[in-house]
Structure 1
Amino acid sequence: MKHTASTVITSAFVLGTLSLVSQAETIVKLGFGSPLTGPQAHYGKDNLNGVQLAVEELNVKGLTIAGQKVKFQIVSEDDQADPRAGTQVAQKLVDQKVNAVLGHFNSGVTIPASKLYSEAGIPELAVATNPQYLKQGFKSAFRLVGNDALLGKVLGEYAVKTLKAKNIVVVDDRTAYGQGLADEFEKAVKTNGGTVSRREFTTDKSTDFTSILTSLKANKPEVLFYGGADAQGAPMVKQMQSLGISAKIMGGDMLNTDQFIELAGGKAAEGHFSAVSGAPIDRQPGGPAFEKKYKQRYKQDVVLFAPQFYDAAYLVAEAMKKANSVEPAKYLPALQKINYAGVTGQFQFDNNGEPKNAPVTIYQVKNGKWTVVAVK
């Protein structure tokens, strides 16, 4: 058969076009929001590391959805742990038409930001623990860990029933996270027959608690519950030691970091307690393997919620696969009905977006390390 030059050129054009079509990729934008600067940056960077690790793996695997290869991209924003900055970040992510949002970290940021995501129909997976986050009723919102009602219940019961504390005082930093957790702790103390003799508050920017602690010293507390982060909790325990206050501090997941121990100067951190939503990493189904590759990739230890953020990226990918679509409106129903075995555990959500399986781990600083003392 004789081919003309035009036939050859046309054939080459068609083949080239088919090749380009076959190589076409669907870009999936995963919006991310957490504090990446300031005193809470170590939490946010840890969260981002978890997402990055998942995205790198997903892109190597090369998912195909709706007949096209999918490439995941992270659209990362620094919300500064500030509600005002958080809503600005949320609007930026909405304007960039992200396919999902992984974050935020702080309840005070997550609660107002979630309204914007809901209005845009974008699924959001957060570790914010204040119950109000999901009480808003947004069907696009999901929580990756247990909420403050659960954490507060476990901590309050432990303080009264296990530590046998008769004199308990409470201090919070007035954030949605700190105040919310402190409220739930106080409620649980009373439910278990205990008494909170004093309730004080500070801010999430304060590092000098001398005045408050001097006043509380007269109460001779056995337990001081602090609702807030490690950047304030650590100087608080140092100042307690200087003032001769022997009470044990109890707090939530934001105290459970190596930085708390380091900032407290080691010795002052000994004996204090924290509670974290989820099982210890070495007891999570994929925890040890995740921890190993995290250390290999980032040359550091997991700070707190990197495994949950890693799971969040995979949860979105799994829902998209089940729905055979990357469009939020189409894969959202699949996410609501998900049953997925993640690194941190089996993920299923109730009708409100709460996780159905949410253990709580209580830790105590022993010999310079956070050590598991109970899993509830």
Structure 2
Amino acid sequence: MASKFSLRPLAAALAFGLAATGALAQDVVKIGYSGPLSGGAALYGKNVLTGMQMAVDEINAAGFEVGGKKYKLEIVALDDKYNPSESAINAQRLVQEHKTPAILVPHSGGSFALQAFNERSNFMLLSYTSVPQITARGNKMTIRIPPEFTGYVQPFINHAMAKYGKSLAIANADHDYAKAWTAAFKPAWEAAGGKVVAENPMSYNKSTDFYSGVSRVMASKPEVMFIGGASEPTGLVVKQARELGFKGGFVIIDQAKMDEIAKVTGGYAPLEGSIGVLPLVEDTRPDPKAFVERFRKANPGRDPSSEVSLNYTAVHAAAQAMKLAGNVTDATAIRAKMNEAFKTLPGKYNPNDLEGVDEKGGSLANTYVGVVENGKVRQVTLRELAQK
């Protein structure tokens, strides 16, 4: 009999514990991620996710309080293998099962797929792609994280023409994003008085030997080569061009990262005269330097790319928007505060210096790029180059 009564306090304690666990579960806010975590683009997708998780760890360590209530932030990550149809399926699951008010997708195809229903399903799309059409569609629940790639075009042309000349060979990748870059860059080059002397896009994702492709464009004796795709094959194209005697400059599309290219080419010297995205590790400003140090401490042996830093900032901005909205579930209210969130985010959490979002949801920034001079990367703003 005594043993029966002694179970009552235990049962009560278990009941209380289960109730407390349920309460804590309700205090979790989840941000969704659908991106490539397997297949050829897995490294890219994992870099994005690393930046997101780094932000979440910092937010939770500092304490995440919204409307006087404490929450824990979590990332729910699903693999879409870079397949837009999988992105759409993942998004529906993230909203229905995990109640995510925001979902980050690091490719344009997946972003377009989610825009078909994100307004109706009431979740904010955080789109990591610089394709202008993402925001040109007027989707009211979209934030485009990086600035449009078209902002690079004229400043890159100004630099390359002034330093090397007006004859251009197009030798970039042949996937959709590279084609979009070519569609913007080629007419702008010609409008500036330049001439395209060769055009030979190559399958950067399928080939490891670019001898024939590079030889073909070099036969036209270009002064500038327009290149870029994934960083490693871009490095191989640079290496091949220099070995074949190319003395001109490279214009590198933003998908390829100079610091990663340099690992293939054996340093920055083969990139002499080139212009491309500024590697975060070469940024001399205090906030980027501090971010690189924090990242290296948390990820020994690794350097952060822009995929890491920009998506890190996007998660910090989303959390800041929740605080400003006083709400963690109303995606419309959170989206309405994203511009203010970017503007009020401390520089510590905004190493790329995003200045806000425009009326269509596209990010604004005085973007820094890198030019290689005397074997070293010099940083310069797009605004400075645009004025030349």
TM-score by length of 2: 0.81
The letter for the 2-side match of 1:273 is S
Aligned mates of 1:325, 1:373 — CA distance in 2:
39
Aligned partner of 1:168 in structure 2 is: 168
Shift of 1:78: 3.1
Identity of aligned residues (%): 25
Q: SS of the residue aligned with 1:259?
A: helix
Aligned partner of 1:330 in structure 2 is: 333
1:188–1:57 distance in 2 versus 1, CA, 3 Å: same
Aligned partner of 1:319 in structure 2 is: 321
CA RMSD of aligned residues (A): 3.2
Shift of 1:74: 0.8
Aligned partner of 1:349 in structure 2 is: 357
Shift of 1:32: 1.9
Q: Which runs of 5+ in 2 are unaligned?
A: 383-388
Aligned mates of 2:120, 2:199 — CA distance in 1:
38
1:283–1:264 distance in 2 versus 1, CA, 3 Å: closer
Aligned mates of 1:365, 1:266 — CA distance in 2:
12
Aligned mates of 1:322, 1:200 — CA distance in 2:
50
Aligned partner of 2:94 in structure 1 is: 93
- For residue 371 of structure 2, the aligned residue among 363, 373, 376 is 363
Aligned partner of 2:378 in structure 1 is: 372
Shift of 1:66: 4.0
What aligned pairs does 1:59-70 form with structure 2 within 5 A after superposition? 59-70=60-71
Shift of 1:60: 1.9
Contact preservation (8 Å) 1:131, 1:148: yes
Aligned partner of 2:344 in structure 1 is: 340
Aligned mates of 2:128, 2:286 — CA distance in 1:
19
Q: SS of the residue aligned with 2:306?
A: coil
1:46–1:39 distance in 2 versus 1, CA, 3 Å: same
Instruction: Give per-residue Cα distances to partners, 1:246-265, cap 9 Å, x unaligned.
Output: 34322123221433222334
TM-score by length of 1: 0.83
Aligned mates of 1:39, 1:259 — CA distance in 2:
16
The letter for the 1-side match of 2:355 is F
Aligned partner of 1:102 in structure 2 is: 104
Aligned mates of 1:287, 1:271 — CA distance in 2:
24
Q: Which runs of 5+ in 1 are unaligned?
A: none
Q: SS of the residue aligned with 2:57?
A: helix
Shift of 1:350: 1.0
Q: SS of the residue aligned with 2:28?
A: strand
Aligned mates of 2:34, 2:204 — CA distance in 1:
19
What aligned pairs does 1:125-274 form with structure 2 within 5 A after superposition? 125-160=126-161, 162-207=162-207, 208-266=209-267, 269-271=270-272, 273-274=274-275
Aligned mates of 2:231, 2:326 — CA distance in 1:
42
Q: SS of the residue aligned with 2:154?
A: helix
Contact preservation (8 Å) 2:313, 2:350: yes
1:288–1:340 distance in 2 versus 1, CA, 3 Å: same
Mean alpha-carbon deviation: is it higher for 34-43 or for 232-241? 34-43
